Amino acid sequence: MHYETSCAMSAERRTLGLLRWYMVDKDIADQLRSGTMAAFLLDRYRAIGARVDAATDRAAHRGARFAVLGALAGGAASGLVWAALALLLGSGRMSVASAGTAFFALRTVGSSLRGAVAYGTRMFRTGLYLDDWAEFIEEAGGHRMRRGSRAAPAPGVVRAESVGYRYPESDAPALDEVSIEVRRGEVLALVGENGSGKTTLSKLLTGLYLPTSTAVTWDDVKTRDLDPQALWRQTAVVPQDYAHWPLTARENITLGQPHGGDEAVREAAVRSGAQEVVDGLCSGLDTLLARQWWGGVELSGGQWQRIALARAFHRPAGLLVMDEPTSALDARAEHRVFAGLRRLAEDRAVVLVTHRLANVAVADRIVVLDRGRVIQQGTFAELVASPGLFRELWSLQNDRGARPGPARLRPSGLSGPGPARWPCPPRWPDPPRWPCPPRWPGPPRWPCPPQWPCPPQWPGRPPPSGPTGLPWPVRRLSPRRPGRGPPSASPRPTCRAPGPCRPRRSG
């Protein structure tokens, strides 16, 4: 009963463990609070906990009932034995000495029998768990990597020839007849929309996945024939989700495999921009990057990404794969990484996966993927000039729908860019309809403007509507005159509406 309940509630117990972790994890505490999810998660935790407790209580009640029935049966049997012993002793058929010997023998046998039953029950329950463990080991053996044992030197050419890959839980292929190659000293960029297969293809090139059809080769040797450990020692990967190892800064960069001493570590840190992070730590490379332990520190997302880049730059690998390597970096750090990418590619093959198309201009060739297929290949200039998905994505990234707004009035009289939500109205009336009449009595320094262009100094709010539904012209600035201060909005009347100009009021 306890075994059956444990098997039935195993998924619920794992869910409770995950909910406890998420509710106390500091990395998502801001999202938990800003999303006001505490009540929802607590309700879910209480509901699952109530189901687990109810199942445990039912199993305990069933076990208690069987235990009571067993105790009653055992007590009845013991009572019959003692009654028979008393009857024999009372009738004189058994002597007192024999009765005493029988008493102690029955006590010893009963105690031993109860222990044997208890141990037998425990062994039976343990045997059920051992059967599950044996089935798990047997099933896990079917997932063991079956790779070759050939040595894997630094590759000169990594080639995929009509490869296909399908995830076990998916019916549609993630990649279908993809053929590409990347050579040492070359930068190859993989571009495409989400779900097009870029990350899957990069894992096939590094031997982390094996294709379901045809093969990926390193110098004409299939990756399935190479020793996986030797193959992965020749790969350096910057994944999208990089690990935050609770180790020192030095060990986070070397990954426990140092070479070249601290000079090599600092060189990789300089290339990735992580040297600024290391210089700001209290103990430099010996600083523990984990707040869970005493003396540890916590880095920001961008700082962790610099550390992840330094890991790949420090690793002496022949194939470098960078999957969205600058998604959390600022513009200066991103420029530093891509400016030095060509130097990194001198002695290794580089595969770059990114959605920022401006960054792929450093690549020698660009491969455009769509739904697991290669639909375009070429240089940056060729793909931008030719119609296709790449040019469409490039146009979308350079078109954000922003329009330049009119100028805004500043206190100093200088003009600046106005808000984009109040552009110059496209239906601004033609000024010649509003000529200044010859009987205008005002001084010559206040002329009625001969035309009404879009105001160069927009006040930053929508103009009021005139009687014809068109906006009124805004007030102009008075000209600066010798001996006066900066221009200011004139209180004198101007041509504000269609019709003859009116004289200035006195007082």
Same domain, 23 and 111: yes
Q: Does the reported pTM lie above 0.75?
A: no
Is the same domain home to 42 and 14? Answer: yes
Question: Are 137 and 187 in a shared domain?
Answer: no
Amino acid (1-letter code) at residue 125: R
Compute the mean pLDDT over every residue in the chain, rounded to the nearest whole number.
81
- Which range is least confidently modeled, 128-132, 316-320, 430-434? 430-434
The mean pLDDT value for 368-389 works out to 94
Lowest mean pLDDT among 57-61, 172-176, 218-222, 281-285: 57-61
CB 94 within 8 A of CB 85: yes
- List of residues 6+ apart from 74 with CB closer than 8 A: 114
Decide if 499 is inside a domain: no
Same-domain check for residues 204 and 270: yes
Question: What average pLDDT does the segment 400-414 reach?
Answer: 48
Q: What stretch of H or E contains 163? A: strand 157-165
**Which one-letter amino acid corresponds to residue 445?**
R
Dist CA 180 CA 188 (whole Å): 9
- Predicted pLDDT at 404: 53
- Predicted confidence at residue 401, as pLDDT, reads 61
Domain-embedded: residue 260? yes
Total count of domains within the chain:
3
Does 88 lie in the same domain as 37? yes
Residues in the chain: 507
pLDDT of 459: 46
Per-residue pLDDT at 100 exceeds 90: no
**CA dist list (Å): 246 to 280, 291, 320:** 18, 8, 24
Residue 125, phi-psi category: left (phi > 0), alpha (psi -120 to 50), beta (remainder)? alpha
Same domain, 38 and 135: yes
Instruction: Classify residue 505: in a domain, yes or no.
Output: no
With a pLDDT cut of 90, the percent of the chain lying above it is 46
Q: Look at residue 489 and tell me if it is in a domain.
A: no
- Tell me: do 416 and 362 sit in the same domain: no
pLDDT, position 303: 94
426 and 365 part of one domain: no
Q: Which residues contact 409 (CB under 8 A, 6 or more apart)?
A: 415, 457, 458, 459, 460
CATH number of the domain enclosing 309: 3.40.50.300
121 and 250 part of one domain: no
Angstrom distance (rounded) from CA 135 to CA 147 = 24
Q: Which of the four pLDDT bands, split at 50, 70 and 90, describes residue 63?
A: confident
Assess whether pLDDT exceeds 80 at residue 257.
Answer: yes
Instruction: For residues 316 and 206, state if they share a domain.
Output: yes
What is the reported pLDDT for 467? 44
Least confident of 22-26, 307-311, 362-366: 22-26
Out of 162-176, 338-352, 405-419, least confident range: 405-419
Is 432 a residue whose pLDDT tops 80? no
- Are 132 and 32 within one domain? yes
Distances (CA, A) of 146 to 96, 224, 229, 499: 76, 8, 12, 91
Q: If you average pLDDT over residues 429-458, what whole number do you get?
A: 49
Q: What range does the domain containing 340 cover?
A: 157-397
Q: Helix (H, G, I), strand (E, B), or coil: what is residue 345? A: coil
Q: Between 253 and 92, whose confidence is greater?
A: 253
pLDDT score of 363 more than 80: yes
The enclosing H or E element of 353 equals strand 349-353
Average pLDDT on 424-447 reads 48
Is 202 found in the same domain as 318?
yes
Q: Is residue 193 part of a domain?
A: yes
Tell me if 477 is assigned to some domain. no
Residue type for position 8: A
- Does residue 442 have a pLDDT over 50? no
* Alpha carbon distance 363, 351 (integer Å): 9
Q: For residue range 138-149, what is the model confidence (pLDDT) as tens digits?
A: 888 777 778 888
For 144, counting Cβ atoms within 10 Å of its Cβ (0-12 exposed, 13-18 middle, 19+ buried), the class is exposed
Q: Is residue 478 part of a domain?
A: no
Query: Tokens representing 75?
Result: 């007590």
CA atoms of 466 and 496, how far apart (whole Å): 9
What percent of the chain shows pLDDT beyond 70?
79
